[in-house]
A and B are shown apart, each in its own frame.
Chain A
Amino acid sequence: MTSPSASSRKALSKIACNRLQKELVEWQVNPPAGFKHKVTDNLQRWVIEVNGAPGTLYAGEIYQLQVDFPEHYPMEAPQVIFVPPAPLHPHIYSNGHICLDILYDSWSPAMTVSSICISILSMLSSSTVKQRPADNDRYVKNCKNGRSPKETRWWFHDDKV
């Protein structure tokens, strides 16, 4: 996705900027296992490298997450997608959009980029089958206009893949 979503187009508020700087420092001191933040000078878009956990279907595979922060982060959720090629997973669409409740309705300001990463890795690790969601083609076609996953009304699948 090259076009930023509607929610991340506006510059970060002062409070969001402050919070993100603190999060970045915390990440550098204590990064979640299996993730690497790729350093850029853009605080509003983080690109994070994900390593599939050993002993899971994604062991040895490397993916990239793109995290875009809205003006009112952390009151509003960041937009989190995989940069294609996205992992083959029943809750991950081929355009990189992820069906995970904490990224949308269940987001809370108590969460952090780090806690999102841990949830995504746990979602990958618990998968027993490598396949796309059943409605992948229709969904991806509907997103052709570059719309954000935050503009989707998600119907969350079962926790167990």
Chain B
Amino acid sequence: MQNQDGHVVESGTETITSIKASEIDDWENFRDDDILQQQSAIQAEEAGKIPFVGDKEPLSSLAAEYKSGNAILVEKINVLTEQYAAIRRTRGDGNCFFRSFMFAYLEHILQTQDRAEVDRITANVEQCRKTLLSLGYAEFTFEDFFGLFLEQLESVLSGTEASISHDELVQRSRDQSISDYVVMFFRFITSGEIRKRSEFFEPFVQGLTNTSVEQFCKSSVEPMGEESDHVHITALSDALGVPIRIVYLDRSCDDKGSVSVNHHDFTPAHVTNASSGATQATKPFINLLYRPGHYDILYPK
């Protein structure tokens, strides 16, 4: 909170934050609506600082963030700079993994105009639709979300009436009425894949929350704002057949104290090369930077 300088916060927030700590001995003095108002003021402030999807920034902006910070992190960012050129930040609202994936994927299609990939993912999306129906989801609960994603996919291909520019893609990613719907589309896809292969996912889910797969999907996948873990990433990557690289920026280092940046590639169970029909390990074109609790988009050199 930047209430010290008093410019950013709403008036409702100030009344709470200006009370001396010694006076806060009875929390019942704070009415829920005051607190909720404060929470939404904080959210609005967060939104002002960073849109759903930010601008592309050189990786040096990440280095600047840690200039006087932890030595391991500084060293890791140096290593990262050898392979990556830029970062695009996303808002930390619990949807950052899905939002990052959305933008990185659509931007990739916009830039490569890879129609074979669009045909491939469209077939996978159709498969996911059947999965949800077979799991008992009513079609009306998900069809609007599917429709909106397919519309975005269509619009990043040039030569159609609906074609959009890169600027327009950025605008749409920041427009809640589109961006949130696409995030929710990915949540449906992820939940469907986890439920369909519940035996496979069960041990991982248990490792995270000690609940059933069903309950996990209901409380940690389908509601907006629920953060993503390796279970979500594996499921989304498998369901859509899109490999994802996650680069980890944390304080870990090996015994000898030498620093390297770890990454993990999520490779879909069945990636087939559309032209040759052969199964092959595709190099991920989605690169995300993970810092504990948050994902941003990375751009390789």
Interface on A for B, CB 8 Å cutoff?
13, 15, 18-19, 22-23, 26, 74-75, 101, 105-112, 142, 147, 151-153
Contacts and interface: CB of A to CB of B under 8 A. Distances in A.
A15 B147 CA distance: 12
B222 A108 contact: yes
Contacts of A15: 144, 177
B239 to A, nearest CB: 15
Contact of B144 (A19, A105, A147, A151): A19
Interface in B176-204: 177, 180-181, 184, 187-188, 191
A112 B144 contact: no
Contact of B36 (A107, A112, A153): A153
Given A109-B145, A112-B138, A75 B35 contact: no
A106 B223 contact: yes
Contacts of A23: 140
Interface residues of B, number: 24
A15 B219 CA distance: 24
Interface in B217-241: 218-219, 222-224
Interface of B: 31-33, 35-36, 137-138, 140-142, 144-145, 177, 180-181, 184, 187-188, 191, 218-219, 222-224
Mostly, the B contact residues are helix
A108 B220 CA distance: 10
B180 A75 contact: yes
Contacts of B184: 75, 109
A107 B141 CA distance: 13
B104 to A, nearest CB: 23
Given A108-B218, A108-B224, A151 B33 contact: yes
Given A108-B187, A110-B188, A142-B32, 16 more contacts: A18-B144, A19-B140, A74-B141, A75-B181, A101-B219, A106-B218, A106-B223, A108-B224, A109-B222, A109-B224, A110-B141, A110-B222, A111-B141, A142-B31, A147-B33, A151-B32
Nearest to A30: B138
Contacts of A105: 223
Contacts of B141: 74, 109-112
B218 A75 contact: no
A26 B140 contact: yes
A110 B35 contact: no
Nearest to B138: A26
Contacts of A151: 32-33, 36
A30 B220 CA distance: 28
A49 B122 CA distance: 42
24 contacts: A13-B177, A15-B144, A18-B144, A19-B140, A23-B140, A26-B140, A75-B181, A106-B218, A106-B219, A108-B187, A108-B218, A108-B223, A109-B222, A110-B188, A110-B191, A110-B222, A111-B222, A142-B31, A151-B32, A151-B33, A151-B36, A152-B32, A153-B35, A153-B36
A149 to B, nearest CB: 10
A111 B223 CA distance: 9
Contacts of B181: 75
A15 B143 CA distance: 11
